[in-house]
Chains A and B, each alone.
Chain A
Amino acid sequence: MTQPAPVTQPAVTPPVTDTAAAVLALGDDALVLSHRLGEWAGHAPVLEEEVALANIALDLLGQARVLLGMAGDEDELAYLREERAFRNTQLVEQPNGDFAHTIARQLYFSTYHLLLHDRLARTDSELAPLAAKAVKEVAYHQDHAAQWTLRLGDGTEESHARMQRAVDALWRFTGELFAPVPGLPVDGAEIQERWTEQITDVLTRATLTVPTGPQTGAWSAGAGRQGVHTESFGRMLAEMQHLHRSHPGASW
């Protein structure tokens, strides 16, 4: 798939070095998921979850700011790139849906995120110190998602059905998590093996069935790292970027 030449994008597109590519991939994952979680503010099912979801969103936004800051200007990268220049996985851009969809997305992503950071922290990559710091936050995110998966899966008949629908619906976006990213010295296959074990364990304990379909289903699924996204993503960016773009050159 060839990428059209950037028109008005000051951002690093495509990244000039492998590390920049890795930084952007991880930074965009954190930025986009943080944004989705921010949409929950004022809508959560219980007050404790207002606090928890905002807390996770803030951790991710903090990680995104550090990573994007390594690749360039955090605000230019967040607000002035167009859809095709974002390198996040398609999983994190998926709409919140109901609480079960949000939790399934969190479970899939945070389990991957924790394994990734745990491995990355033990490499000599320049991202290792960041990964070491992020592990503590991400471990909390993973625990939160796993606990809710257990509650919803092994809760009521309705919550079980909703949770099963959610893990099924998002399954096809999980394969992309393990595709190699230039500059990221982590073995995707090894992570995938551990991820599958851990997800199987949580889903089984939650009395849910592990999905069996392809992990990259449709032709485009799994191309987020190449800047090919799903339809709702453009609308998400329109909302996120409109104010910044309406006042070119302003500082806030």
Chain B
Amino acid sequence: MATAAPHHQAAGSPADAGTGLGEAAYQAVFDATVAADERIEPRDWMPDAYRATLVRQIAQHAHSEIIGMQPEANWITRAPSLRRKAILMAKVQDEAGHGLYLYSAAETLGTGRDELLDKLHSGRQKYSSIFNYPTLTWADVGAIGWLVDGAAITNQVPLCRCSYGPYARAMVRVCKEESFHQRQGYELLLALSRGTEAQHAMAQDAVDRWWWPSLMMFGPPDDESAHSAQSMEWKIKRHSNDELRRRFVDICVPQAASLGLTLPDPELRWNEERGHHDFGPIDWTEFKEVLKGNGPCNEQRITQRRRAHDEGAWVREAAAAHAAKHSTKATTHEGRAA
């Protein structure tokens, strides 16, 4: 998927600056690279708007991994069996790792992790709206795995072919782990669904609460999506929001049936003509409110993130001070101070 050492690399590099190629020529090389489905790499020339879009999208993606640890970590200390506890801890650990890959990918575009975290903490950059919903029961952990990770994978698999190389390669690794999490979530719900009456009810309640927010993860409808057309032209995005949402619904309906659970949408039914499921209207007012910061957990999530960062400041300062004192032997640990 992600191609290494693209042969166009030298064309737009600063080394060519003296050869008389103007902006238009650089743009032409960029356009041709994208058109040929090849990768743009960090040292290639790229339009400023392309760079800015990628920084915004990758940072938001990284932030989502980090904030997304909270609703699940909420259940680590209460997981009902040691096996489930181990699975959940490993998952939350993977999410921190995904955040790290993604911040690294964003850094190849000339920004820094500190700067991005600062933008997250001050509300200037967003994270996925789904993580502003609370995890109220153990079954929510399963619903997040099945539906939220399922939606994330539907969104992210096409990103493995995204035109920006470092992002595409990060997505290959992320998607492998995400699909594992998704299967674990499904399996958790299956155990509940086939368990006691109370467990089954817990699973159904979780699916009822997470279904619509999961559909919102694909973003606004195509005719209201501000960045879609340009992102598709740049091959950052490969499919429209509505197209991915349809695909997700088509995948989930049979899975819900085999789970023995229902989806909370009376209008959901197969449309023979379209070859897709029809489904009911999404409450876009709720979506906009959550995006604006008025969801159930927006305040709590960002406060916890800021607190972890602020309360950890003395630790990062200590690491930096130690590294400075022992710079010759401490080089391998300096990264922690960043």
Count of chain A residues with a beta carbon within 8 Å of a chain B beta carbon:
50
Tell which of A65, A68, A159, A251 touches B318, judged by Cβ atoms closer than 8 Å: A159
Q: Are A151 and B308 in contact (CB under 8 A)?
A: no
Q: From residue B325, how far is it (CB to closest CB) to chain A in Å?
A: 7
User: What DSSP secondary structure best describes chain A's contact surface?
Assistant: helix
Q: From residue A142, how far is it (CB to closest CB) to chain B in Å?
A: 16
> CB within 8 Å of A: which of B47-102?
66, 69-70, 73, 76-86, 89-90, 92-93, 96-97, 99-100
Q: Are B100 and A46 in contact (CB under 8 A)?
A: no
The reply to whether the CB of A215 lies closer than 8 angstroms to some CB of chain B is no
Q: Are A41 and B89 in contact (CB under 8 A)?
A: yes
Residue of A with least CB distance to B117: A47
Q: Are A252 and B84 in contact (CB under 8 A)?
A: yes
The reply to whether the CB of B296 lies closer than 8 angstroms to some CB of chain A is no
Q: From residue B181, how far is it (CB to closest CB) to chain A in Å?
A: 14
Q: From residue A251, how far is it (CB to closest CB) to chain B in Å?
A: 6
The reply to whether the CB of A150 lies closer than 8 angstroms to some CB of chain B is yes
Q: From residue B262, how far is it (CB to closest CB) to chain A in Å?
A: 22
Q: Are B78 and A99 in contact (CB under 8 A)?
A: no
Q: Are B93 and A51 in contact (CB under 8 A)?
A: yes
Tell whether A155 pairs with B73 under 8 Å between CB atoms, given A42-B308, A47-B99, A247-B80.
Answer: no
CB-CB under 8 A from B89, the residues of chain A are 38, 41, 54, 57-58, 61
> CB within 8 Å of A: which of B114-132?
none
Q: From residue B103, how far is it (CB to closest CB) to chain A in Å?
A: 8
Tell which of A42, A55, A155 touches B304, judged by Cβ atoms closer than 8 Å: A42
CB-CB under 8 A from A78, the residues of chain B are 82
A74 to B84, CA, bound (A): 12
Residue of B with least CB distance to A37: B89
Q: Are A58 and B90 in contact (CB under 8 A)?
A: yes
Which among A109-117, A223-231, A238-246 touches the partner chain? A238-246
CB-CB under 8 A from A49, the residues of chain B are 312, 315, 336
Which among B192-200, B229-237, B279-287 touches the partner chain? B192-200
CB-CB under 8 A from B314, the residues of chain A are 156, 158-159, 162
Q: Are A47 and B319 in contact (CB under 8 A)?
A: no
Q: Are A48 and B336 in contact (CB under 8 A)?
A: yes
The reply to whether the CB of B333 lies closer than 8 angstroms to some CB of chain A is yes
Q: From residue A80, how far is it (CB to closest CB) to chain B in Å?
A: 12
Tell which of A47, A62, A99 touches B86, judged by Cβ atoms closer than 8 Å: A62
21 contacts between A and B (CB under 8 A): A38-B89, A39-B76, A41-B89, A42-B69, A44-B308, A45-B311, A46-B312, A54-B90, A54-B96, A57-B89, A99-B315, A151-B318, A152-B318, A158-B314, A162-B314, A239-B77, A242-B78, A247-B198, A250-B196, A250-B198, A251-B81
| Chain A residues engaging chain B, CB cutoff 8 angstroms | 31, 35, 38-39, 41-51, 54-55, 57-58, 61-62, 64-65, 68, 74-75, 78-79, 98-99, 147, 150-152, 154-156, 158-159, 162, 239-240, 242-244, 247, 249-252
